Each structure stands twice: as structure tokens, then as C-alpha cells.
């Protein structure tokens, strides 16, 4: 049996918890109760429980102090927090201490039972058979929803009724099919990932609890995008469906006790007549979910507003090139400026939808990633983590912040690694070349500037960069000339002079040899 201590300053809450669930049947033994924090701390020391369930505010010793001090006494102790106050900071700090889960007052039997069963499984005890059966059913739902999302993204038909029954034990027939997404948003999700995870788990439990009495068959699972729902009804009852999903939204938003400013959006795909069409319904729900970034509405329904699935955003080539080069040169300042300029261009676009914002985000991310990979190996999960974090954004400015912080963090890391790979003299030499490439620059000038003998410097430069001095200088000048050729105001002669070539024919010959096209053709190509 797992030992548990209950702590709450209200005796009626203690009594309610004792009566609310069958503790022994779930494999728990309540070894003590306390109405203040100091008494609870004594019980932890005396009884050595596996679990402490405590109110977030307690007399004598606050819930947070109790958790902190109890961890000191028993590092392996698990905690569930009870909150009945709009005390956002208390709740968030509790989550940061690593509490297992939370309960909101008024307490509900099914929520407490679910948490106790989950925790029992985590603690490695012999788990109740019904919990394993429940987990197996949930796993099937996870796989089913993942398959539905995949079909929606590939724009392919979903399962037939026969396949759904054979693979997932679903009984489909004539009636109405639709997909939906329940999307909770909190503005500080990136600052409390554990809290966000717990919130999404509670949202899933709310969805499953409310949908099951309504639907003839249903499945729900947590995705990056939110809690996805597949619903089948033999008879579609519009009023009951609206009431059900509205109740789900309100139940999710009740979690404001712990997640200040939480906002929930319900996105329904259009109604279909067979399961094969569910992928199209899910695609619509996903589109509506993205679009909450542009239009904040609690209820989105593809039946009443047709998603503009074909309205997409495509970044032009020079735009992409600037992002790529800023990332390739590990230039954090330049990248930030390009990002802010680009953001100011896309946000006022008419029309603008959430899909277009994701397109913009994806193209900035991919071009920047390609540029960074020219220097070194980027963290393996960087791109996946950024895409996952995109769905935690609640507004366009959150996307801007995510790109700025995420990419710049990588640029700083790669820059530091690159600095370690290069000797100080070579770093100084490159800086000197970048500052003076427009002049008639010689190897002797650079080696003198960094205090080295020209012959030794030449060998060291080749060893550290993989290029000899003249090849490096030529590459730098040609790259700079490519940037300048994209300008409408500069002629080829002007560009040649600005990158250090006084002889136009020599510059044109060298440019074509390096790039495969003449400067004038390149200018036309990117004009």
C-alpha cells in the first residue's frame, strides 16, 4: 500500500477527500491528516509517506514552504497541490517545485481518482487492472489521432469503417463524422513547460469526460496543436454538440486559478458522412486552430466559416537569402534586424491568416537553419523543438519572440564554438579583412596588422580556414558583390569598385568563374 498524508486548513475538505474515493481499493493508505503546515511536516517526518496532498495556502507553514521543507526531509516524496484561490504566483511556484499534479476546488471524484491511479503507476507499484485497460484504450486513441493528423497533412483519405473496426475497435456506420481541436493558450507557456504539460493533460481528461456521453464513438489525444477529437454520431444534434464543446471550453478556462489569462479556442471541422472524409475535417480544424493567431474567437466552426486553405505565404528569394547569409555569418544583430523587418512586412498583410503566419515562421526557420549548418552542426532537435513551440504561441508577437530567442541562442552557441576552433590571430585577421576588403589588400598588410610574419601567417591561415588568403578574400568580395547586385541603384561598375576591383573586365571574369553567371545576368536574376 502507498502511504498518503492529507493537509488542508478546512476540515470539511479533509473529510471530503477521505470519503471521495476508495483509498484502499486504489492501493493507498491515508496515514495522517493535518490542518496546518507544521503538523503536516511532522507527519511527513514520522510516517514517511509516498504522497502528500496539500492546499496551496496553509497556516503555520504555507503550502510552498511545506513542499520545500518536506522535500528536504524526504527527497522522493510526491506532491499533489489543491488550489481554491486565484493565487497565480503561488500556483506557478508550486509547479516549479515539481509537484506531480493539481486539483481545483470544488474537488471531483473522477479527477482525484485519475491522478491517484496515474501516480500509482508511476511509482511502480502493482497497478489496478482497470488502469492498465484504461491506458491501453488511451494508447489506441493516441495512435488513431496521430493517424488522422497524418492523413490530414498528406491530404489523403482516412480509414474506412472496416479498417477502423479491425485496427481500433471502433463501430462506425451511417451518421455524422467530424474532427475538432480544443486549444488552450497561456502567454507564458515557454516559462513553465511542466505546468503547460499538466494543463494539457487536464484538458484531455475534461474532453474525454464530456465527449463520451455525447458521441456514439470518439477518440481524443494531445497533439502539439492541442487536444484533437474524432467524433461519430448516428444523429447529429447541433444544440447538444454546441453545449458539449462550450462546457469543455468553460471547464478548461476554470483553470485560471493556476494559469492566469488562460484562453481556450474550440475549432470544429465540417461534418462528413463517412470516416474516409475525416482527414478533410481535421485539416479544416487545424487551419482554424492556426487562425486563432489572427482572430481571437472562442468558437470556430468550418460549417459557418470556410477555411481559406489555399491562401499561403511564399517568401521571395532575396528575402530568404538575407536570412540565410545572416545565419551563415553567425551575425546575431543582422539576423534580428532582418527578422523584425520581415515581421513588420507580414503582419499588416491583407488578407492574413494563421496558416500564412506558420508559412512565414517555417521559411524563416528553414533558411536560417540551412545557413547555420554551413558553419557547424546545429542541435539535433532544434528544428523539431521550434516547431513544437510554435503551437504554444498565442499571438503573432509570440512567434516573433520565439524565432528571435530560438535562432539567436543557436547563433551564439555556434559562434562560441567557432571561436574556440579558431586561433585569436586568425579571428583578428578575418575581422581586418572584412573591414578593409574594399581596398587593395595584400597578404603582407593583413599579417602585419595581426603581428605575424607573412610566411608563417599564410600557413596558419590556410590551416585554420582551409583556404589561402587570396581565395578567402576573393570569396568575401564575390559574396559582398552578390548582395550589392540585388540593388536597383547600383550598376555593375559601381559594385565592382565597392568590393575592391577597379578593373571591370577582371571583376566580371572572376565573378562568372566563381558563380557560373556574369554579374549582369545575376543582377537580372535577383532583380
Pick from 420, 438, 456: which residue ends a domain?
A: 420
Interacting residues of 389 by C-beta distance below 8 A, sequence separation 6+: 190, 402, 406
Q: Show the CA angle centred on residue 189, arms to residues 188 and 193, nearest 5°.
A: 130
Last residue of a domain, one of 267, 301, 335: 301
Q: Which three cell numbers stand for residue 12?
A: 470539511
Among 483, 477, 474, CA closest to 522: 483
Cβ(282)–Cβ(178) below 8 Å:
no
Q: 416 with 429, same domain?
A: no
For residues 292 and 323, state if they share a domain: no
365 and 500, same domain (yes or no): no
Degrees (nearest 5) of the Cα angle 421, 424, 428? 115
Q: Is 297 contained in some domain?
A: yes
Contact in structure between 149 and 203 (CB atoms under 8 Å): no
Say if residue 171 is in the same domain as residue 199. Answer: yes
Question: For residue 98, what pLDDT is reported?
Answer: 65
Element (H, E) at 429: helix 424-436
Residue 306 resides in a domain: no
* DSSP one-letter code for 32: E
* 139 within a domain of the structure (yes/no): yes
The full DSSP string for 71-101 is HHH-TT-EEEEEE-S--HHHHHHHHHTT-SE
Peptide bond into 351 cis (omega under 30): yes
Query: Is 361 inside any structural domain?
Result: yes
Strands 78-83 and 51-55: parallel
Say whether both 382 and 478 belong to one domain: no
Q: What is the CATH number of the domain that holds 102?
A: 3.40.50.2300
Q: What is the pLDDT of residues 68-110, one digit of tens each?
A: 888 888 888 888 888 765 555 565 666 666 677 888 888 888 8
Instruction: Give the DSSP H or E segment for 271.
Output: none
Looking at residue 424, its pLDDT comes to: 74
Cell 545565419 -> residue: 327
Does residue 198 sit in the same domain as residue 327? Answer: no
309 assigned to some structural domain: no
Q: How far apart are CA 209 and CA 222, in angstroms?
A: 14
Q: Residue 189 falls within a domain, yes or no?
A: yes
pLDDT tens per residue, range 225-260:
999 999 999 999 999 999 999 999 999 998 776 677
Shared-domain flag, residues 280 and 408: no
In a domain, 307, yes or no: no
CATH number of the domain that 503 lies in?
1.10.10.60
Looking at the fold, whether 44 and 85 belong to one and the same domain comes out as yes
CA distance 183 to 252: 9
The enclosing domain of 160 has a CATH number of: 3.30.70.270
CA 136 to chain centre: 27
Q: Which domain holds residue 257?
A: 130-301
- The whole-number pLDDT of residue 91 equals 59
Residues 284 and 136 in one domain: yes
Position 310 in a domain: no
Q: Give the three-state DSSP class for 37.
A: helix
Burial readout 366-391 (b: 16 or more C-beta within 10 A, e: otherwise): ebbbebbeebeebeeebbeebeebbb
Residues 6+ apart with CB under 8 A from 282: 148, 149, 151, 152, 179, 228, 230, 269
The residue to which cell 491530404 is assigned: 155
User: What spatial distance separates the first Cα and last Cα of the chain, rounded to whole Å?
Assistant: 75
| Dihedral sign, Cα of residue 374, residue 380, residue 384, residue 385 | negative
Number of domains the chain contains: 4
Write down the pLDDT at residue 132. Answer: 52
Residues 37 and 63 in one domain: yes
Q: Are 246 and 238 in contact (CB under 8 A)?
A: no
What secondary structure letter does DSSP report for 440? Answer: -
Q: 3-class SS at 276?
A: helix
CA 72 to chain centre: 33
Q: Indicate yes or no: pTM above 0.95.
A: no
Give bridge partners of residue 115 from the DSSP assignment: none
Grid cell at residue 32: 495522517
- Last residue in a domain, options 106, 127, 148: 127
Q: What is the pLDDT along the chain (527 residues), one digit of tens a residue?
A: 889 999 988 888 998 999 898 898 888 999 999 988 888 988 998 888 989 998 877 787 777 788 888 888 888 888 888 876 555 556 566 666 667 788 888 888 888 888 888 887 776 543 444 455 555 678 889 999 999 999 999 999 999 999 999 989 899 999 999 999 999 998 765 666 777 888 898 899 999 999 999 999 999 999 999 999 999 999 999 999 999 999 999 999 987 766 777 899 999 999 999 999 999 999 999 999 999 999 999 999 999 999 999 999 999 999 999 999 999 999 999 999 999 999 999 999 999 999 999 999 999 999 999 999 987 788 889 999 999 999 999 999 999 999 999 999 999 999 888 777 656 788 888 889 999 999 988 999 998 888 888 888 888 888 888 899 999 999 999 999 998 988 778 899 999 999 999 899 999 999 999 889 999 888 887 76
pLDDT of the residue at 320 = 94
Say if residues 288 and 300 touch (Cβ distance below 8 Å). yes
Let me know whether 363 and 414 are in one domain. Answer: yes
Same domain, 430 and 409: no
Amino acid at each position: 500500500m502507498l502511504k498518503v498524508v492529507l493537509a488542508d486548513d478546512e476540515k470539511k475538505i479533509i473529510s471530503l477527500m477521505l470519503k471521495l474515493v476508495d483509498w484502499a481499493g486504489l492501493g493507498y493508505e491515508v496515514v495522517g491528516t493535518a490542518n496546518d503546515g507544521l503538523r503536516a511536516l511532522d507527519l511527513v517526518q514520522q510516517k514517511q509517506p509516498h504522497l502528500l496532498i496539500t492546499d496551496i495556502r496553509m497556516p503555520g507553514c504555507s503550502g510552498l514552504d511545506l513542499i520545500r521543507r518536506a522535500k528536504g526531509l524526504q527527497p522522493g516524496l510526491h506532491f499533489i497541490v489543491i488550489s481554491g484561490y486565484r493565487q497565480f504566483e503561488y500556483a506557478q511556484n508550486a509547479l516549479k517545485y515539481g509537484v506531480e499534479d493539481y486539483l481545483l476546488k470544488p474537488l471531483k471524484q473522477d479527477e482525484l481518482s485519475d491522478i491517484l491511479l496515474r501516480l500509482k503507476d508511476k511509482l511502480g507499484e502493482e497497478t489496478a487492472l482497470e488502469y492498465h485497460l484504461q491506458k491501453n484504450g488511451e494508447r489506441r486513441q493516441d495512435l488513431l489521432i496521430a493517424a488522422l493528423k497524418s492523413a490530414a497533412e498528406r491530404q489523403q483519405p482516412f480509414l474506412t469503417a472496416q479498417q477502423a473496426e479491425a485496427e481500433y475497435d471502433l463501430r462506425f456506420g451511417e451518421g455524422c463524422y467530424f474532427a475538432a481541436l480544443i486549444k488552450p493558450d497561456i502567454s507564458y507557456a515557454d516559462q513553465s513547460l511542466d505546468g503547460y504539460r499538466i494543463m494539457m493533460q487536464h484538458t484531455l481528461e475534461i474532453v474525454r469526460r464530456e465527449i463520451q456521453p455525447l458521441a456514439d464513438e470518439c477518440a481524443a489525444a494531445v497533439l502539439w496543436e492541442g487536444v484533437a477529437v474524432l467524433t461519430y454520431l448516428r444523429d447529429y444534434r447541433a444544440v447538444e454538440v454546441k453545449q458539449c464543446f462550450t462546457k469543455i471550453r468553460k471547464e478548461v478556462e476554470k483553470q485560471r486559478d493556476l494559469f492566469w489569462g488562460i484562453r481556450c479556442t474550440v475549432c470544429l471541422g465540417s461534418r462528413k458522412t463517412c470516416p474516409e472524409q475525416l482527414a478533410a475535417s481535421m485539416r479544416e480544424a487545424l487551419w482554424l486552430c492556426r487562425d486563432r493567431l489572427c482572430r481571437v474567437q472562442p468558437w470556430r466552426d468550418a460549417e459557418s466559416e470556410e477555411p481559406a486553405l489555399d491562401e499561403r505565404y511564399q517568401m521571395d528569394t532575396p528575402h530568404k537569402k538575407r536570412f540565410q547569409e545572416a545565419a551563415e555569418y553567425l551575425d546575431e544583430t543582422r539576423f534580428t534586424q532582418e527578422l523584425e523587418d520581415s515581421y513588420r512586412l507580414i503582419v499588416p498583410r491583407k488578407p492574413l491568416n494563421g496558416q500564412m503566419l506558420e508559412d512565414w515562421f517555417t521559411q524563416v526557420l528553414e533558411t536560417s537553419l540551412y545557413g547555420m549548418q554551413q558553419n557547424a552542426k546545429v542541435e539535433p532537435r532544434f528544428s523539431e523543438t521550434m516547431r513544437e513551440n510554435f503551437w504554444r504561441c498565442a499571438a503573432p508577437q509570440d512567434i516573433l519572440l520565439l524565432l528571435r530567442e530560438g535562432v539567436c541562442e543557436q547563433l551564439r552557441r555556434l559562434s562560441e564554438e567557432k571561436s574556440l576552433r579558431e586561433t585569436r590571430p586568425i579571428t583578428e585577421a578575418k575581422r581586418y579583412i572584412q573591414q578593409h576588403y574594399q581596398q587593395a589588400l595584400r597578404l603582407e598588410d593583413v599579417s602585419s596588422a595581426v603581428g605575424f610574419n607573412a610566411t608563417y601567417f599564410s600557413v596558419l591561415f590556410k590551416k585554420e580556414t582551409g583556404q589561402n588568403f587570396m581565395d578567402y578574400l576573393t570569396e568575401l568580395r564575390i559574396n559582398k558583390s552578390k548582395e550589392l547586385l540585388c540593388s536597383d541603384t547600383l550598376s555593375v561598375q559601381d559594385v565592382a569598385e565597392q568590393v575592391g576591383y577597379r578593373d571591370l573586365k577582371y571583376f566580371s571574369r572572376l565573378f562568372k568563374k566563381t558563380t557560373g553567371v556574369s554579374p549582369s545576368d545575376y543582377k537580372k536574376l535577383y532583380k
